[in-house]
Amino acid sequence: MRIAKFAHHQDFATFDYTAATVTQTPIEPFHSGQFTEEAQNLILVGETGTGKTHIAIALGTTLLNSGKKARFLNTVDLINALIKEQAEGTTGKIIRSLSALDCVIIDELGYITFPKSVGALLIHLVSKL
């Protein structure tokens, strides 16, 4: 849990499906973590307050509890780290550390606009993972 760096603890037991726009049925197949074995991406899209972050953290917690390695990253923090890494000439360090994980959760990706050069860094990271 320490390495995952979740913003707070969330699990599926505390997720209120009655208040969410998503139902339990499409989420359940991901509980097994099989998508990590197949190197598939999972993208959660929805309005603010629909439970995307809760589901992402709960999924990460489920993966950790089954022995997998996961890491939670806020997009702003990740972008700042990638820019810093590039400025220091240590490009690739973040990619190498994240590549050792089974699951990387990038939260709040759609909430910020950034220059094309930063977008290229982020796309490069995702393509390497």
For residue 93, name the pLDDT band (cuts at 50, 70, 90). very high
pLDDT of residue 115: 85
Beta bridge partners of 73: 106
For residue 65, name the pLDDT band (cuts at 50, 70, 90). very high
pLDDT digits (tens, 9 = 90+) for 45-54: 888 888 999 9
> What burial class does residue 28 get, using C-beta atoms within 10 Å of its C-beta: 0-12 exposed, 13-18 middle, 19+ buried?
exposed
The pLDDT of 103-112, averaged and rounded, is 88
Q: Which domains does the chain have, with CATH numbers?
A: 12-128 (3.40.50.300)
pLDDT digits (tens, 9 = 90+) for 110-124: 777 888 888 899 999
* Strand 70-74, strand 103-107: pairing: parallel
